[in-house]
């Protein structure tokens, strides 16, 4: 196998026998993964947090327009992008988190050790840097784990340590500064989504959450943490991708619900238009919709699941027959407007611009 980019791969084989062998191995892996996922569903369906609890914003007055994507992404529908076609299969009883480098004494932690810490639960929207505007490489889930800030004292780092190098079973790695960790308690080692252990394809048994950056800087299947005295570029940065990978403000039109018209107070026919807006941890203060070349009209915003998630927006458009173009834009929590210039998908910048339908 020769890696081409984040979403494609090329297999070069020299003979029929090799092709049969590789295909057989691949099918075996897929069958194993499907069985494991089926078993996880059987074990975890009744235990899922969302099956027994209302969302924290259940009382929001803004109802999503029909056709808007689910505000809470089911486990089966959450996106995933990996550096390999088959996710690592980690044996939980044998798994250990190795802590080494600039520490007073190397440390080994089991998953049970991590579970002894007070858990933190966070509703989080995560996005891939390769997500096109309006794409589906983005999702919102309830993450559970331990704050890395809370874990730091027990790692017994030497005074010279400045960064943590986090390495995965698939050879992926990222480096996070201790200053960043000390400044943000939201950074956490995550072992569960929606109240059940991480599915294999999403990083079982452990992954990290780092606020405000894309998934390309957030390792899954973590097996070691090395304390160092320097920064170094992570896996994708070494390969020419964006060094910061900060989530840009983005807004999306998911639906123009022409088959769900409503009658307003003045007997005017209204068509619900809706979607999501997101700006990392910076929040959304306003969303506006433009019809054709008309004035920008302010949409109403739902209450987000948390300060770390997207927000659902809705605009009830006074219906006019004919062909129309709808455009949406958003503003960050501090009033900074969304970038309006279309950006090409690249390794150096996330995509982001106002979007139209």
Q: Is 188 found in the same domain as 263? A: no
Distance (Å, whole) CA 98 – CA 316? 54
pLDDT digits (tens, 9 = 90+) for 17-34: 333 333 333 333 444 444
pLDDT tens profile 199-231: 999 999 999 999 999 999 999 999 999 999 999
**In this structure, are 289 and 317 located in the same domain?**
yes
* 129 within domain boundaries: yes
354 pLDDT exceeds 80? Answer: no
202 shares its domain with 260? no
- CA gap 140, 123 in Å, rounded: 7
Please tell me whether residues 296 and 210 are part of one structural domain: no
Instruction: Please identify, among 214, 238, 262, the residue that sits at the C-terminal boundary of a domain.
Output: 238
Q: Is there a single domain that holds both residue 259 and residue 180? A: no
Any idea what the CATH number is for the domain that residue 270 is in? 2.60.40.650
* Residues 292 and 221 both lie in one domain: no
3-state secondary structure at position 166 = strand
The C-alpha atoms of residue 203 and residue 78 are separated, in whole angstroms, by 12
What is the dihedral angle through the alpha carbons of 225, 229, 231, 236, rounded to the nearest 10 degrees? -30
Q: How many domains does the chain have?
A: 2
Please write the tens of the pLDDT for every residue from 234-285: 999 999 999 999 999 999 999 998 888 888 777 789 999 999 999 999 999 9
pTM, rounded to two decimals: 0.83
Residue pLDDT, tens place only, 317-344 = 999 999 999 999 999 999 999 988 765 5
Where on the phi/psi map is residue 35: left (φ > 0), alpha (ψ -120 to 50), or beta? alpha
- 16 contact partners, CB below 8 Å, separation of at least 6: none
Nearest Cα neighbor of 164 from 174, 149, 151, 172 is: 174
Is 187 a member of any domain? yes
Amino acid 267: pLDDT: 76
Same domain, 208 and 88: yes
Given a cut of 60, whether residue 6 has pLDDT beyond it is no
pLDDT by residue (tens digit) across 51-98? 999 999 999 999 999 999 999 999 999 999 988 889 999 999 999 999
> Could you list the residue range(s) of the whole structural domain that residue 204 is in?
78-238
* Within-domain flag for 3: no
Same domain, 103 and 233: yes
Whether 133 has a pLDDT exceeding 80, the answer reads yes
CATH at 226: 3.90.420.10
Mark whether 194 and 338 lie in a shared domain.
no
Is pLDDT of 167 > 70?
Answer: yes
Asked if the structure places residue 17 within a domain, the reply is no
- pLDDT band at residue 357 under the 50/70/90 scheme: low
Asked which of 174, 209, 238 is the last residue of a domain, the reply is 238
Exposure on the CB side of residue 337, measured as CA atoms within 13 A: 8
**pLDDT score, position 4:** 37
Domain end (from 184, 212, 238): 238
């Amino acid at each position: 196998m020769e890696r081409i980019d984040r979403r494609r791969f090329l297999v070069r084989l020299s003979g029929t026998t090799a092709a049969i062998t590789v295909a057989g191995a691949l099918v075996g892996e897929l069958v194993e993964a499907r069985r494991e996922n089926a078993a996880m569903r059987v074990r975890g369906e009744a235990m899922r947090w969302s099956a027994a609890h209302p969302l924290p914003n259940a009382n929001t007055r803004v109802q999503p327009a029909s056709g808007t994507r689910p505000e809470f992404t089911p486990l089966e529908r959450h996106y995933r992008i990996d550096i390999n076609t088959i996710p690592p299969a980690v044996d939980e009883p044998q798994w250990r988190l190795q802590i080494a480098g600039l520490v007073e004494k190397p440390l080994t932690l089991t998953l049970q050790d991590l579970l002894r810490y007070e858990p933190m639960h966070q509703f989080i929207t995560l996005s891939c840097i390769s997500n096109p505007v309006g794409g589906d490489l983005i999702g919102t889930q309830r993450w559970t784990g331990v704050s890395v800030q809370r874990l730091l004292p027990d790692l017994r780092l030497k005074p010279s340590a400045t960064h943590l190098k986090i390495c995965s079973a698939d050879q992926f790695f990222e480096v996070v500064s201790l200053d960043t960790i000390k400044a943000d308690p939201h950074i956490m080692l995550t072992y569960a989504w929606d109240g059940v252990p991480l599915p294999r394809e999403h990083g079982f048994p452990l992954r990290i959450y780092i606020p405000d950056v894309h998934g390309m800087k957030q390792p899954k299947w973590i097996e070691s943490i090395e304390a160092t005295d320097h920064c170094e570029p992570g896996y994708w940065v070494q390969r020419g991708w964006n060094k910061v990978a900060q989530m840009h403000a983005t807004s999306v039109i998911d639906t123009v619900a022409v088959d769900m018209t409503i009658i307003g107070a003045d007997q005017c026919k209204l068509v619900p238009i809706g979607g999501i807006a997101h700006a990392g941890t910076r929040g959304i203060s306003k969303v506006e919709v433009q019809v054709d070349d008309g004035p920008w009209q302010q949409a109403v915003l739902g209450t987000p699941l948390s300060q770390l998630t997207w927000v659902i927006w809705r605009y009830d458009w006074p219906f006019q027959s004919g062909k129309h173009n709808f455009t949406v834009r958003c503003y960050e929590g501090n009033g900074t407007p969304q970038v309006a210039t279309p950006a090409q998908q690249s390794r150096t910048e996330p995509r982001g611009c106002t979007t139209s339908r």
